[in-house]
Amino acid sequence: MKVNRITTTVTMDDFGRIMIPKAIRKLFKSREFTMEADVKEKALTLKPVPTWDEMAGFIKHKIDLDDLVRDRETQWH
């Protein structure tokens, strides 16, 4: 059976941190998420941040990530 939606209750600690349950982290294979807050709807949406390997899968030709980082560093300095 394929799961399309999981609903769970989470709590916030005294520092404002919300713990994402381990089962959900494992399902998305991520430890980093972006959060969107919809103030009008009073809703939070979390989306896993893709890894470099996942993003590289979208690129049709081979790319050298070290060269990419060097290029970006020279642009910022």
Give residue-wise pLDDT tens across range 3-34: 688 888 889 999 999 988 888 888 888 888 89
In the prediction, which pLDDT does 61 show? 61
How far apart, in whole angstroms, are the C-alpha atoms of residue 66 and residue 20?
32
Six-digit token pair at 72?
A: 């970006």
pLDDT reported for residue 64 = 72
The pLDDT tens digits of the residues spanning 41-69 come to 999 998 888 877 776 666 556 667 787 78
Evaluate whether 12 touches 19 at the Cβ level (below 8 Å).
Answer: no
